Structure 1
C-alpha cells in the first residue's frame, strides 16, 4: 500500500471516530492510538508509523 493510501485510510478512520462521537455523544477512548502520537496530519511521518497508527486506531474503535 502506498503512503498516500495509508494517509487516506488514516483520515477515514478518524472521520469514523468523530462521526460516532457526534452522533452518539459518547467519547471513543483510543489509548493505544494516542500513545503513538501520529495523526493523519503528520504527513512527514514514515509509512510504518502510519500503518501502526491505523492498526491501533482500528483496534481501539472496535473495542
Structure 2
C-alpha cells in the first residue's frame, strides 16, 4: 500500500473516530493512538508511522464498538 493510500485511510478512520466519540464519549479509549502523535494531516511522517496510527486507531474504534455491544444479535434472513 502506498503512503498516500495510508494517509487517506488514516483520515477516514479519524472521521469514524470523531463520529463515534460524538455518540459515546467514554467508550472509545484512544490513548495508544494519541501517544503516537501522528495525525492524518502529518504528511511529513513516514509510511510506517501512518501504518501504526491506522492500526491503533482501528483497534480503538473496534474496541469501543465491542464494548458498546452487550448482547449478540440474532441472525435474520432477508
| Fold shared per TM-score above 0.5 | yes
Corresponding residue of 2:31: 31
Corresponding residue of 2:43: 43
Deviation at 1:61, TM superposition (A): 1.0
In 2, Cα distance between equivalents of 1:3 and 1:13: 15
Q: How does 1:13-32 map to 2 (within 5 A)?
A: 13-22=13-22, 24-27=23-26, 28-32=28-32
RMSD: 1.1
In 1, Cα distance between equivalents of 2:15 and 2:9: 10
In 1, Cα distance between equivalents of 2:14 and 2:2: 19
Q: TM-score, normalised by structure 2?
A: 0.73
Alpha carbons of 1:56 and 1:25: their partners in 2 closer, same or farther (altered >3 Å)?
closer
- Number of residue-to-residue matches in the alignment: 62
Q: TM-score, normalised by structure 1?
A: 0.89
Deviation at 1:29, TM superposition (A): 1.9
Structure 1: runs of 5+ lacking an equivalent: none
Answer with 1 or 2: which has the greater Rg.
2
